Amino acid sequence: MLKAYIETFQKYKYLLENLIMRDIKVKYRRSVLGVAWSLLNPLLMMFILSAVFSRVFRYEIENFPLYLIIGQILFSFFNESTSSAIFSIVEASSLIKKVYIPKYIFPLEKVLFGFVNLIFSIPAVVVMMLFYRVPFNLSMLTIFLPLLTLLLFAIGFSLIISALCVFFRDLKHLYSVLITAWMYLTPIIYPMSALEGSWIWYVARINPLTWYVESFRNALIYGTMPDLLSCWVCIGYGVVFTLVGLLSFKKLQDKFILYV
């Protein structure tokens, strides 16, 4: 059973590659700066946000722009990939009606495309780290843990919402509201300590993205090895969402054709 799934995936791996390449080509074709936009975009956003919020906020965050840009690129990866994945199956309806293709390819492709963009924008973080002369530290190598488990979380989450969106198209609009709320509940521009004493703190604590952003920062800015708890939480959210996503997707996928 599992072997058959892996074989099908092997067969359609080339399609996955092609679809990602297509998205990359379409995104950067006819733009003079090309891939450099993935680098410039977060840097420009960071300048604006840090200029404004370093005046608005009272709390002192060391290297605030660096703090900001990390939260920002991780969140915008999650935002872009899930927001485009949610409608990916509906968009591919003309194909789904004509050819047999494993349908998880479509949301998976959107998330992987978002991930490629995230990788492209990591040099922006490196630039800021050099600017602030953050000393190199072995614990920086542990960013792979939050990076890969965040990818898993995004894949699992996208599988669920893209499948539901086939049946309820207006989820797409609902999600754009939800993702904005989600952004404010993630410590991107403020520190977690700012929420202490309020019930909001607990909401932000349960929020998976909080854990990924913090683990990433701990490794890159503060040079600390990840503690056991955040390792398990990151892995836990990633694995559980991937499993739930795969199972619910599998259960719903045969009905897609009747609704797309």
Q: How many CA atoms lie within 13 A of 172 on its CB side?
A: 17
Q: Binder to another protein among 33, 169, 198, 222 (CB under 8 A)?
A: 169
In total, the chain counts a number of residues equal to 260
Q: Which of 3, 4, 25, 199 binds another protein (CB under 8 A)?
A: 25
1 binds another protein (CB under 8 A): no
Would you count residue 251 as binding another protein (CB under 8 A)? no
Q: Least Å distance between CB 181 and another protein?
A: 17
Biggest CA–CA distance in the chain, Å, is 58
Axis-axis angle for helices 208-217, 199-206 (nearest 10): 80
Provide the minimum distance between the beta carbon of 45 and another protein in the complex, in angstroms, as a whole number. 27
Closest to another protein by CB, 55 vs 98, is: 98
Q: Residue 174 or 206: which CB sits closer to another protein?
A: 174
CA distances from 198 to 195, 201, 205 (A): 6, 6, 12
Of 108, 78, 106, which Cα lies nearest the Cα of 179? 78
Q: Are 166 and 94 a contacting pair, CB within 8 Å?
A: no
Size of the site for another protein (CB under 8 A): 29
Residue 95 engages another protein in binding (rule: CB under 8 A): yes
Question: Contact positions toward another protein, by CB under 8 A?
Answer: 11-12, 14-15, 17-19, 22, 25-26, 29, 94-101, 167-171, 174, 254, 257-259
